[in-house]
Amino acid sequence: MPEHFTGRRNLIFLATFLLCIPALFTGFMGDDYLHYALLNADLPIAKPDDLSLFGLFSFINGDPERNRLLMDYSLIPWWTYSELKYAFWRPLSELSHWLDYQLWPNQPWLMHLHNIVWYMGALVLIAKLYQRFQPGEGAALLALFLYALDSSHGFTISWISNRNALLALLFGLLTLYFHCRWRDENRSILLLCALSSQLMALFSAELGISVFGYIGAYALFMDRKGPVKGVLAAIPYFVVIVIWWVIYKDAGFGAAHADAYYVDPATQPTAFVVAAIERLPVLLASQWGLIPADLYTLTPGDKQAYSVLCGLFLLFVLVPVCALLRRNKTTLFWLCGMVFSILPALAASPYDRLLLFPGIGAAGLLGHFIHMIWVKKVRPGNAAMRFYTLAVFGILALFHLILAPLLLPVMTYSTKLMAEAVSDKPSYFDEVEDIANKRLVLFSPPLASSLAIAGLRFYRNEPMPERIWTITTLEGEFNTRADGHKMVITREGGFMANPTEESVRNLKKYPFKNGDRVELSGLTIEVSKTGSTGRPTELTLLFDDPVSSDQYQFLKWNPAMNRYEKFEIN
């Protein structure tokens, strides 16, 4: 075992790299296929007319006409709200993906290695941060170990499309590094480096805003010139964020009508506050505990009780931690930095991949706490408090010193497991001849699989159908009748039956009404009848050509046979 800080730090780096190796074997998942198509294929859908370089993160930009084109290729469901928007300005991240496809377009393992390199670079800066602020090398190394081997980072490291978070982390850390040096050395060039790094973080991902939480915490508790001058010194960073945000919004970026996953604090301030109160304990409980925040997002039904339980757990573990460390000024820095940095992430549904920034403060606190109990043998004087503190120490040590490192390789491989959970079989149409001149009308493919059809076919360099219209992703019996250009189809339970399908349209805000029409290229879908909740129960499909035309292929997915069969029309 190395005796010096550098040697032990490098040992942690090596362990982290080795535990991230499973990511190299995970291949593509989800948006990776779309990015591949956007950077390699001659798409029938042009890049959005915005400030993005390639449209990798602004593909769904809220333009109703564009959204209808996406529906024509089953990239989004036809029932999607017409102005749904997931459009993010991440030019630096786009550039990193473009570089992948210039250097190793058919080698996903090198793209995963690219992700790992960014994470390792961030760890170098985090080590410097802990060495600067932790009370001793032992506490600094413990904090580094806890952060580097945190299993909640595994998914982010592994998913190629989520590299934007890793870039934002590294440039955010550079911002804090240069800011601290500027405040100590008072050299203007360091301020310029800090502001440039902050801009790079913002151009990587919206998550780059989070570093301002640590700059604010530094200003209040660690600035050697006092909190007033510290706050004044933080103003330039706030100005950069405001300028970036004004340009960002003016250029049309952001999320809209996407309540299932995003709440825009600028346009929905009240909804954001309500969501933030519920999401904050969920994310922090995941950071301090072991149950992924993703569970909250992916579980249907009322989630307030889950949030309350998370809040109680958080209170349970933080009380003894903060009580033991209350006399150290870095405690408030880590604690407030953790909380401040998580605030921008509360606009999105809770996922562990949002914990990169708050994890810095959490690992700083926990590393110091474990060092005080384990190495320094510090104990509270009160017997009950001593028992309580040692119990929390045992739980946190088990979670973060033992289980988290063991789970890190599992989580870095989790993208492979998730990708395999979405069957690619519905993207094969071997029985369809001359598919490039056919319009596919699909019934009952799984939702996730239906959205991946176009991307998978581009990736496999297979001909694209002229249209891919997914009418429903639900199974069951359908009553149909066709006459000329018209086909009427009913389903007893309706055509939207679960929260996942409703994630692209909030039926409470935008219920379907009888007579609503969705105009696609060659097909009009009319909602003939609806249920009490606004779900369509009968659809009238109006085709440009007779239903009997050879250019249409009506196919129904058979999950038992794992293939399409001809859809019978009365």
User: What is the pairing mode between strands 439-443 and 467-472?
Assistant: parallel
pLDDT in tens, 425-445: 999 999 999 999 999 999 999
Regions of the chain where pLDDT drops below 50: none
DSSP string, 435-492: GGG-EEEEES--HHHHHHHHHHHHHTTPPPPSEEEEEE---S--EEEEETTEEEEE-T
CA distances, 426 to each of 207, 311, 549 (Å): 35, 42, 23
Tokens 């249907």, located at residue:
300
CB atoms within 10 A of CB 39: 17
d(CA 264, CA 39): 29
For the chain, first and last CA: distance in Å? 76
pLDDT of residue 466: 95
DSSP string, 259-328: TTTB--TTT-HHHHHHHHHHHHHHHHHHHHSSS-THHHHHS-S--HHHHHHHHHHHHHHHHHHHHHTTTS
- CA triplet 156, 161, 162: central angle to 5 degrees? 30
pLDDT of residue 43: 77
pLDDT in tens, 324-371: 999 898 999 999 999 999 999 999 999 999 999 999 999 999 999 999
Q: Which two structure tokens, joined as six digits, stand for 67?
A: 């959204």
State the pTM of this model: 0.95
pLDDT of residue 4: 85
For residue 348, give the DSSP letter. B
Q: Tell me if residue 507 falls in helix, strand or coil.
A: coil
pLDDT of residue 264: 85
CB 396 within 8 A of CB 187: no
Q: Which two structure tokens, joined as six digits, stand for 37?
A: 């198509």
Residue 264 neighbours by CB under 8 Å, 6+ apart: 254, 255, 256, 272, 347
| 269-288 and 304-324 helices, crossing angle to 10° | 60
Q: Which two structure tokens, joined as six digits, stand for 230?
A: 């510290």
Residue 481 has phi, psi (to 5 degrees) of: -150, 135
DSSP string, 227-250: HHHHHHHHHHHHHHHHHHHHHHHH
Tallying the residues shown for the chain, one arrives at 570
